Amino acid sequence: MIEKDVWENCYERKWKHLIVNEAFCHPAKFSYNLIDRIYSHAMEKGWIKKGDTVLDPFGGVALGALGAISNGINWIGVELEKKFVRLGEENIAKWITEVKRDLGIAKIIQGDSRKLKFHLAKFIGTPDMVISSPPYADSLSGSDKPQDHKRHQELATKAGHGRIGRGQLVYQNAYGRTLGNLSNMKDDGFWNASQEIVQQCYDLIKPGGIAIWNVKDYLKNKEVFPFSDKWVEMNESVGFKVVCWHQATLLKVGQDLILGSKNADTFKDGDEVVQDITDRKGFFRRIQERKGFPKIDWENVICMVK
């Protein structure tokens, strides 16, 4: 039977002061608290332990490395874009300098993850586990129209999410334009390339090894595209099986509030009791919901066994 539950408060702590400033240009940053929760879960289950090695085929700016090395676990990431590799190296160097305790070893490699076996043969033996979050361009805006991308970039810059000068995030090119970048592929091209990468992850990890994927549904043509289900289906096609499925809620539920009264002592008939809910969704997702598009209230953390 597949274990299913809801994870709360996975989006509280921000990356401010924890990563180099330019690394904020990456369009899909792993949540700090979510990474911590994933590693705690994996260690509690006995899937990973100090001294083991985690593989991240979508390395980004190496944010996934912090949860690993903080627990004495080694991390190796593969990232296609040279800019993100450089920023990942700077983040790793920052953590090694500032964290005053024994850490695991982290390494980010520039390369195409469709050639994972080639890249990893030069650095490590058999990885014990995979923890990663795949990229996908459509999730950034829910639209393929250039004018929509331009407008969203303007809104992001106005809200402080864009950048001016060095490190400027050009919205539709946010993931980069290096040949082979999955985020720039469409439909069959994306899924074929993803399957190549996942197949190599399956082949590389030890028997009984676990892959944990942080995946998100998104809006496409004003409807929810079930990316998570499709990602699981593709993983199952290469041999993985789902062990547990966690929904990391993007809504933080706090204490009850009483509308019409400042506190419970002044509650009177006719007052409405509601819950204090803080929205942890991304900037563009909130814009879409204000326009009446369907709501997506969680991300998925899916654990799969070889």
Residue 222 is predicted with a pLDDT of 83
* pLDDT > 90 fraction of the chain, expressed in percent and rounded: 50
pLDDT tens track for 61-101:
999 999 999 999 999 999 999 999 999 999 999 999 987 67
The pTM of this model reads: 0.81
Closest to 245 measured CA to CA, from 299, 205, 209? 299
Residue 275 is predicted with a pLDDT of 39
> What is the DSSP pairing of strand 129-132 with strand 53-56?
parallel
pLDDT (mean) for 168-187: 64
Residue 272 has pLDDT above 60, yes or no: no
pLDDT (mean) for 30-37: 92
Residue ranges and CATH numbers for the domains of the chain are 3-305 (3.40.50.150)
pLDDT tens track for 211-225:
999 999 988 888 899
How would you list the strands of the sheet with 129-132, edge to edge? 3-7, 241-249, 298-305, 210-215, 129-132, 53-56, 74-79, 106-110
Ranges 89-93, 255-259, 283-287, most confident: 89-93
Least confident of 166-175, 221-230, 275-284: 166-175
d(CA 177, CA 183): 9
Residue 100 is predicted with a pLDDT of 67
Give me the chain's average pLDDT, please: 80
